[in-house]
Amino acid sequence: MKKGETIMKQRNAELMTGNEACAEAAIVAGMRFFAGYPITPSSEIAEVLSFRLPQEGGVFIQMEDELGSMAAIIGASLAGTKSMTATSGPGFSLMQENIGYASMAEVPCVVVNVQRGGPSTGLPTLPSQADVMQARWGTHGDHPVIVISPSTVRETYDWTIKAFNYAERFRVPVIILLDEIIGHVNEKIIIPQSEELEITDRERTKEPPETYLPYRFTDSDIPRMADFGTGYRFNVTGLSHDESGFPTNDPTKIDVLYRRLNRKIERYKNEITAVKKDGLDDAEICIVAYGSSARSARRAIHEAREQGIKVGLFQPYVLWPFPYEELEKISHQSQYFIVPEMNLGQVAHEVACATKRDVIKINRVDGGLITPHEILERIKNVSL
């Protein structure tokens, strides 16, 4: 490596928390509108953006509550601006109705949930991974959604950018599930150069306003957008609607709408889902771990391998759509599946569905991190 290259890498090195990385990456992705309400342990995201967004020509607004926060980012997105909100626990619950609205109206936006223990106000300052099912099924009705779960600060940076890319491309709300550990841990990361990044913007219509239909069928299943305030006027509703955006009770049009809404994610799931596999080529035991629990799993697997135990890691970065097919393939080789998670078995249930095997669960709901030792001991018990 040349001296100049070393200096450049040193310049790009930053010490960041996951919350700070999320905020900075959102700006790099092109986010220029943030609306939110302070809540532990996500508040640092809002704090960073309160001074960073104005520096970038963006808008930060503290709303009266989480309902208003979600509504505000929907409005900003319809006006053509990439938008985001961040919350935790009770605030995420309050956002569900408007997340459903964004799904039905096909409004791209990003929602960050830095998870804490629950239900209700629960454990405000301690970690949890118990919002996995809420992220997928929290709002009523069959609806499209993408849910991301990074495990390090650098992954948080990279996957925040990808979250905006997914939201803009597929016209869906994308949820980033961090937790208190990832949100507050400090790690050194190398900030990627701009030329290393792929930034996706929404596909805008080329039709004139007088012929534009906001939900016109396309071969991609993703209607082209127009920005409010640029000469386009169209109806946006949470009701079942036709291509014009106006409500309809026509069963044929309703069926077409709902199937398309969900098909646009199912159709592209192989492009959306992403997993990290480590040591699975010969693994008899497969650890399925995500978020901060994947950090402990990686250490436990390293120690188990040193003891001659054939174990590997399957880490999904995207929890929804869930990678059922990939896990099913692994089940042809791995005899045992262990799922450590800070809940009572939410992802373990999906692993069992995918592998058709009994899943060994490691669960903590006391606000404590699942340790490498806990996972290693379970691995050793299984391998006996």
| Per-residue pLDDT reduced to its tens digit, 93-137 | 999 999 999 999 999 999 999 999 999 999 999 999 999 999 999
CA–CA separation, 11 and 275 (whole Å): 30
Q: What is the mean pLDDT of residues 354-381?
A: 97
C-alpha dihedral sign at 118, 120, 126, 129: positive
pLDDT of res. 239: 98
Q: How far is CA 196 from CA 82, 149, 161, 257, in A?
A: 21, 22, 12, 37
Q: Please, what are the domains in the chain?
A: 3-196 (3.40.50.970), 275-383 (3.40.50.920)
Token readout for 318 is: 């995207």
The answer to whether 203 touches 224, Cβ cutoff 8 Å, is yes
Its pTM stands at 0.95
pLDDT of res. 352: 98
Q: For the chain, where are the alpha helices, taking DSSP H only?
A: 3-12, 18-28, 43-55, 66-78, 89-105, 132-137, 153-170, 180-184, 251-266, 269-272, 291-306, 324-330, 346-355, 372-383
CA–CA separation, 375 and 362 (whole Å): 7
Q: Which residues pair with 336 in a beta bridge?
A: 285
* pLDDT, tens digit, 9 for 90 and up, residues 256-312: 999 999 999 999 999 999 999 999 999 999 999 999 999 999 999 999 999 999 999
* pLDDT, tens digit, 9 for 90 and up, residues 168-195: 999 999 999 999 999 999 999 999 998 9
Q: What is the mean pLDDT of residues 238-260?
A: 98
Task: Work out the pLDDT band at 12, boundaries 50, 70, 90.
Answer: confident
pLDDT of res. 197: 94
